[in-house]
Structure 1
Amino acid sequence: MNRTALAVAAAAALLAAPATAVAAPVAAAPAAATKTTTCGASGLQAGLMTKVCADVTGDDVQLWGQISLAGPPSPGTPWPPRPEELITSLSADVVGGNALGAVRGGTVFTVSAVRVGGVGGKVACGSTVHASFSVSSFSRFSAPVTVDVPVVC
């Protein structure tokens, strides 16, 4: 018998045979929590653009601040700019509740965006988290940017 005849005979045998195989029920996989990122309004601090954001996944909240160039350099500005030593502070708390933490430290900014994190934790559903991010340098004071994020589970 050639291959085509064998394939036709096998298919006919399968169609004629009673179906005895039953598919096992498949348990539904638990729905994965979706990560939602919310950022507050950006602001200028130490001559740079800053913002503070919160990543919320279920009842877990992770906060971060970002530092980036405020725009293209002015004509005649040396490129790349010299590195700038910055002092950063990121803090967060549950409104009417406990603090989620704070980090303060030095950061060197050159051209690429810098992300500062390390604050967060589990928060009760229905709570609101308030976060603040400030950036200052030797000659410039900070004007913190903030965000208020509801935790909807």
Structure 2
Amino acid sequence: MSRVLMLAAGAAGAAALLFAGVAPAQADTAPVTTCNNWHLQDGHNTPLCVTVSGTSVSLTGQIALAGPPSPGTPWPPAPEQTSTTLSADVVGGGNLGTAQQNVVFQASTLTIGPLNVTAACGTTVHASFSISTYPWFNTPTTVDVPINC
């Protein structure tokens, strides 16, 4: 092989190696949903789901009956004034957003939200959903999700 061809082949190979790592990686933009499907709060099941797509984060909570009524319990149950709060925070950082809503819960499952926020790549979002119905104390449902970009 001539010296010119060897230099050309070497240059082409070096260029191929050089540019192989330059192409930008495609970000995984398919939404990923993480849920805490069973959490008792104020005598209710209060699941929380968090959907992440890129840097967009969406929180949705639900209020549902925790189980079938006890024998002798009046049906339907009495309506309950319920205060709800969806909140998203950066772990080790600040609040990304909070949404409060007052609802009347009786027996049908209620969906609360969504609360839509944006988080920086590489952070972890701590999502919480709490309800308060007198005389019960709230114990928020929580989900932590990484923001991988």
Where does residue 12 of structure 2 map in the other structure? none
Report whether the alignment pairs 1:128 with 2:135.
no
1:67 to 29, 51, 63: 63
Helix, strand or coil for the counterpart of 1:133?
A: strand
Where does residue 109 of structure 2 map in the other structure? 113
Where does residue 82 of structure 1 map in the other structure? 78
| Stretches of structure 1 lacking an aligned partner (at least 5 in a row) | 1-29
**What's the TM-score, normalizing by structure 1?**
0.72
Structure 2 contact 88–97 (Cα < 8 Å) conserved: yes
**Post-superposition offset of 1:73:** 1.2
1:57 to 50, 53, 59: 53
Where does residue 145 of structure 2 map in the other structure? 149
Q: Which amino acid aligns with 1:40?
A: N
2:41 to 35, 40, 45: 45
Structure 1 contact 41–146 (Cα < 8 Å) conserved: no
Where does residue 20 of structure 2 map in the other structure? none
Question: Using the alignment, how far apart are the partners of 2:93 and 2:42 within structure 1?
Answer: 31
Helix, strand or coil for the counterpart of 1:147?
A: strand
**Post-superposition offset of 1:135:** 0.9
Q: Which amino acid aligns with 1:152?
A: N
Larger Rg: 1
- Compared CA separation, residues 31 and 128, structure 1 to 2 (3 A): closer
**What's the TM-score, normalizing by structure 2?**
0.73
Question: Using the alignment, how far apart are the partners of 1:41 and 1:95 within structure 2?
Answer: 22
Structure 2 contact 28–54 (Cα < 8 Å) conserved: no
Moved more, 61-70 or 33-42: 33-42
Helix, strand or coil for the counterpart of 1:82?
A: coil
Moved more, 110-119 or 30-39: 30-39
| Stretches of structure 2 lacking an aligned partner (at least 5 in a row) | 1-25
Cα RMSD, aligned residues only:
2.1
Structure 1 contact 41–145 (Cα < 8 Å) conserved: no
Q: Which amino acid aligns with 1:76?
A: G
Question: Using the alignment, how far apart are the partners of 1:37 and 1:113 within structure 2?
Answer: 20
